[in-house]
Amino acid sequence: MKTKHVYFTIFTHTLIIMTIVFSSCKEQQTVKTPEKQKEAVDNLKEVGVSMKMYFNDQTTSDVLLPKEATDISKLDRKNLDMYLNQKVSFSGTIERWKLGNAISNSTSTIWIEGEINFEDIKVTGTLIKKYDLPVFIMEKDMKAVPAGIPVEPGTDLKEASKRYIIIIE
């Protein structure tokens, strides 16, 4: 059986960040039909990249994916990791905290690095993640409460200290 390889070269602006190879041979079943190839392209569209497909029979296919920022306003917090270090936009209401400004809506709160002067806004920038929120486990018999955010006993402190930040460009 002749193996047909599909090479996905992923670009961000003009910089190649990775090449993914899919094969239709029996050992690798990742992309074996045009429908599966289309599904793979659709999955990559959600990430917001530009792509060119190279086939080993010397044909190519250009796929122009969105160059705009991906709107993550409706995503739940647990789905944000796939957009780290990418250009994103987020709509909501500004909240002022001791740690800085944040933007919130009904699904998430994301911190902002940069100055904002509006109450209801849409911000665009690069999404990053930090584990720097001051959290502590709240015990029943604590005499002095430390500064920070109390969490229930048994909570993973690292996960509780996580915050997402949009760096405004």
DSSP, residue by residue, the chain: ----EEEEEEEETTEEEEEEEEE-STT--SS-SHHHHHHHHHHHHHHT-EEEEEETTS-EEEE----SPEE-TTS-GGG-GGGTTSEEEEEEEEEEETTEEEEE-SS-EEEEES----SEEEEEEEEEEEE---EEEPPTT-SSPPSSEEE-TT--HHHHTEEEEEEE-
pTM passes above 0.75: no
Separation of first and last alpha carbons in the chain = 50
pLDDT of residue 11: 37
Which CATH fold topology does 70-168 show? OB fold (Dihydrolipoamide Acetyltransferase, E2P) (2.40.50)
pLDDT of residue 146: 85
Within 10 angstroms of residue 165's Cβ, the number of other Cβ atoms is 19
CB 7 within 8 A of CB 31: no
pLDDT of residue 9: 40
* CA–centroid distance for 36 within its chain: 23
Radius of gyration of the CA atoms of the chain, in A:
21
Q: Which residues pair with 149 in a beta bridge?
A: 135
Domain range summary for the chain, segments of one domain joined by +: 5-63, 70-168
Q: What is the mean pLDDT of each run of 10 residues along the chain (169 residues)?
A: 40 35 35 58 54 52 59 84 87 86 87 75 89 89 84 92 88
Within 10 angstroms of residue 103's Cβ, the number of other Cβ atoms is 22
